[in-house]
Structure 1
Amino acid sequence: MGVLPVPAEVRAILLDIEGTTTPIAFVQETLFSYIKDNVKEYLRAHWEEEECQRDVGLLRKQAQEDSSLDGAVPIPLESSSGEEELERVIQAVVDNVHWQMSLDRKTMALKQLQGHMWRAAYATGHVKGEIFEDVVPAIRKWREAGMKVYIYSSGSIEAQKLLFGYSTEGDILELFDGHFDTKIGPKVESESYRRIAASIGCATNNILFLTDVPREASAAEEADTHVAVVIRPGNAGLTDDEKSYYSLISSFTELFLPSST
Structure 2
Amino acid sequence: MAATAVSAAPIFVSRVKETKGRQFYHLGWVSGVCGSVLPWPHKSPYFLSLKGPIRISQRVVSGHRNTQVSAKAGSSSNGIKPARRCIVLDIEGTTTPISFVTDVLFPYARDNVRKHLELTYDTAETQDDIESLRAQVKEDLEKDVVGAVPIPTDGDREEVITSLVANVEAMIKADRKITSLKQLQGHIWRGGFDSNEIEAVVYDDVPEALEKWQAMGLKVYIYSSGSRLAQRLIFGNTNFGDLRNYLCGFFDTSIGNKKETKSYIEIREYLGVDDPSAILFITDVYQEAAAAKAAGLDVMISIRPGNGPLPHNHGFQTINSFSQI
3-state SS of paired residue (2:141): coil
Instruction: Tell me the CA shift for residue 137 of structure 1.
Output: 0.4
Of residues 204, 220, 224, the one that matches 2:296 is: 224
The answer for the alignment partner of 1:76 in structure 2 is 152
The answer for the alignment partner of 2:160 in structure 1 is 89
Q: Provide the C-alpha distance between the structure 2 equivalents of 1:236 and 1:51, rounded to a whole number of angstroms.
A: 35
The answer for the alignment partner of 1:153 in structure 2 is 224
3-state SS of paired residue (1:240): coil
The answer for the alignment partner of 2:319 in structure 1 is 249
**1:199–1:86 distance in 2 versus 1, CA, 3 Å:** closer
- Report 1 or 2 for greater relative contact order, CA contacts < 8 Å, sequence distance ≥ 6: 1
Structure 1, unmatched stretches of 5+, are 1-6, 80-84, 256-261
The answer for the alignment partner of 2:107 in structure 1 is 33
Of residues 274, 277, 300, the one that matches 1:205 is: 277
**1:152–1:78 distance in 2 versus 1, CA, 3 Å:** same
Q: Provide the C-alpha distance between the structure 2 equivalents of 1:28 and 1:154, rounded to a whole number of angstroms.
A: 14
The answer for the alignment partner of 1:180 in structure 2 is 251
Instruction: Tell me the CA shift for residue 191 of structure 1.
Output: 2.8
Superposition RMSD on alpha carbons, in Å?
2.0
Instruction: Tell me the CA shift for residue 22 of structure 1.
Output: 0.5
The yes-or-no answer on 1:22 pairing with 2:135 is no
Of residues 132, 144, 160, the one that matches 1:58 is: 132
3-state SS of paired residue (1:238): coil
Instruction: Tell me the CA shift for residue 201 of structure 1.
Output: 1.8
Considering fraction of residues, name the structure with more helix: 1
The answer for the alignment partner of 2:25 in structure 1 is none
Q: Provide the C-alpha distance between the structure 2 equivalents of 1:66 and 1:240, rounded to a whole number of angstroms.
A: 34
- CA deviations 1:149-189 (Å, max 9, x no partner) are 11111222221111111222211111012222222332222
Q: Out of 49-58 and 147-156, give the one that drifted further.
A: 49-58
Structure 2, unmatched stretches of 5+, are 1-80
The answer for the alignment partner of 1:82 in structure 2 is none
3-state SS of paired residue (1:150): strand
Q: TM-score, normalised by structure 1?
A: 0.84
3-state SS of paired residue (1:76): coil
3-state SS of paired residue (2:313): helix
Partner amino acid, structure 1, of 2:277: N
Alignment size in residue pairs = 242
- CA deviations 1:58-106 (Å, max 9, x no partner) are 3334333333424421222465xxxxx6444322221121122233333
